[in-house]
Amino acid sequence: MELYMTKPISGFSKLSKKDKIDWLASEYTTDPIQTKTILEQYWNSDEKLQKLHDEFIENTITNLYLPLGIAPNFLINEKLYAIPMAIEESSVVAAASKAAKFWGGRGGFKTTVIDTEKVGQVHFIFKGDVKKLETFINAIRPKFYEDTAVLTESMSKRGGGIKDIALRNLSEKLDNYYQLHCTFETMDAMGANFINSCLEQFAATLKREAQNYATFTETEKDLEVVMSILSNYVPNCLVRAEVSCPIEALNLSKEISPVAFAQKMVRAIEIAKVEPYRAVTHNKGIMNGIDAVIMATGNDFRAIEAGVHAYASKNGRYSSLTHAEIKNDMFRFWIELPLALGTVGGLTKLHPLVKLNLDMLGQPSAKELMQIVAVAGLAQNFAAVSSLVTTGIQKGHMKMHLMNILNQMNATHEEKDALVLHFKTNTVTHRGVVIALEALRNN
């Protein structure tokens, strides 16, 4: 049946959760009773906890669960971690765990935080003399700091605050377009609210001081602030993670020599550097690991995705985020990427599971979390590329996907046990699982 509304609903946000669900079920689903049953199944039985979840966003009707798994045995800078990962995709946690175990016996992962600078901008239009504008900005620069003193007081006590405010002339790209390019240190907070509050005050100060600047013409005084907003591109909020070992220690598979394996890995990374079609999938695999940890720790995976992919294009062409080399009989594999993360504020103090996950990680600082997340991405990439250059990606992935296929086919406990045993020695394909299950049921 085709579903459509004859008219839009008014005041939906003011309805109770029950009324929202009743309306949605009757107007937009084919089986209203089943809809209500499914939605209510995912409510938390603890009313206080459910209310907390309801208030995270607007118009909440239920909870959408993601599996939370643990990838153990991550040796990072001589410290052992069990990394929480929230993700629905088969084989991601298993692949990360396998890579962690492999490199744990070869010195583990080494990480370095290169910088933690974050960025925000005030975008404005100025029709006038550029030299006068430069003189004006230099003259009022102390005012920016004075007017945001109340906002920055707490952050400054923790060692953070405003790092720099620079005028950028982009009028060659867009007529009369300029910006205040501002950099910040936000310590263990991701800092979005702090940065945006500072930027909006910078904009107010800019407009006020322009109106009172004696040497400006009336046109110049009437500069237009278009918007004030942080940037999720943080190329100077960087972390590096790497692994290395003698080539002879790369005994990953009996089917390929360590030397051949190292060469194939380097070649695969080189391909991802020059071929965007490959680089996108290559980097998506990295983000499988990164996003899973970001989600588990209550950070904004969308902001991280946007910034990371922009960084992958920083040289004018989309390219691999990871690098590999063979030098002096040593194999080295590393990643460098921007990660603006927080371990205070937002969901980190509200969501009980997020709090627990951060506890399992040893209550990391933002810098420590950057390193853990980068390692998860590097491990995921090593697992994926090493499979690609040896057995192929499907062998391991489809075995992990087997349970999803069986659940889709409503297999019983006994059927699952029998088919897991069967596919230990047989290739998993969707068609193969269908045939095997049918044969089992017929017998």
3-class SS at 70? strand
Within 8 A by CB and 6+ apart from 46, the residues are: none
Regarding whether 90 and 14 lie in a shared domain, the answer is: no
Contact 319, 312 (CB under 8 A): yes
Regarding whether 333 and 301 lie in a shared domain, the answer is: yes
Beta bridge partners of 161: 185
C-alpha to C-alpha distances, 161 to 145, 153, 340, nearest whole angstrom: 10, 8, 15
Task: Decide the pairing of beta strands 161-169 and 177-185.
Answer: antiparallel
Write down the catalytic residue from 22, 89, 222, 275: 89
Regarding whether 157 and 252 lie in a shared domain, the answer is: no
pLDDT of residue 208: 98
Q: Tell me the C-alpha distance between 146 and 167, whole Å.
A: 18
Strands (E) in 145-212, as ranges, are 161-169, 177-185
Mind listing the pLDDT tens digit for each residue in 237-262? Answer: 999 999 999 999 999 888 899 999 99
Regarding whether 384 and 297 lie in a shared domain, the answer is: yes
Regarding whether 343 and 252 lie in a shared domain, the answer is: yes
3-class SS at 303? helix
pLDDT of residue 408: 85
Within 8 A by CB and 6+ apart from 382, the residues are: 99, 102, 103, 243, 333
Q: Tell me the C-alpha distance between 336 and 339, whole Å.
A: 10
Write down the catalytic residue from 300, 323, 351, 399: 300
Place of tokens 């391909």: 271
List, for the chain, all residue ranges whose pLDDT scores fall below the cut of 70: 1-6, 392-401
- CA 211 to chain CA centroid, Å, is 42
Best CA proximity match to 122, nearest among 185, 167, 152? 167
Q: 74: part of which helix (H) or strand (E)?
A: strand 68-76
Regarding whether 108 and 44 lie in a shared domain, the answer is: no
**Whole-structure pTM value:** 0.89
Regarding whether 245 and 107 lie in a shared domain, the answer is: yes
Catalytic site residue 284? Answer: yes
Radius of gyration of the chain (CA): 27
Among 231, 264, 299, the domain boundary falls at: 231
- Domain span at 436: 397-442
Write down the catalytic residue from 20, 36, 273, 397: 397
Mind listing the pLDDT tens digit for each residue in 285-322? Answer: 999 999 999 999 999 999 999 999 999 999 999 999 99
3-class SS at 421? helix
Q: Tell me the C-alpha distance between 28 and 6, whole Å.
A: 12
Regarding whether 290 and 195 lie in a shared domain, the answer is: no
pLDDT of residue 397: 55
Among 65, 86, 104, the domain boundary falls at: 65
pLDDT of residue 1: 47
Among 231, 265, 287, the domain boundary falls at: 231
Tally of domains within the chain:
4
Angle (nearest 5°) at CA 118 between 343 and 208: 120
pLDDT of residue 48: 95
3-class SS at 406? helix
pLDDT of residue 299: 97
- CA 70 to chain CA centroid, Å, is 18
Catalytic site residue 89? Answer: yes
Contact 57, 39 (CB under 8 A): no
Regarding whether 358 and 332 lie in a shared domain, the answer is: yes
Regarding whether 376 and 300 lie in a shared domain, the answer is: yes
Catalytic site residue 300? Answer: yes
Q: Tell me the C-alpha distance between 76 and 94, whole Å.
A: 18
Report the 10 Å Cβ neighbour count for 194. Answer: 25
End-to-end CA distance of the chain: 39
Regarding whether 204 and 134 lie in a shared domain, the answer is: yes
3-class SS at 101? helix
Q: What is the CATH number of the domain that holds 313?
A: 3.90.770.10
Regarding whether 167 and 277 lie in a shared domain, the answer is: no
Q: Tell me the C-alpha distance between 262 and 273, whole Å.
A: 17
Burial environment of residue 418 by CB neighbours within 10 A (0 to 12, 13 to 18, 19 or more)? middle
3-class SS at 281? helix
Angle (nearest 5°) at CA 358 between 356 and 363: 120
pLDDT of residue 5: 55
Write down the catalytic residue from 18, 157, 163, 284: 284
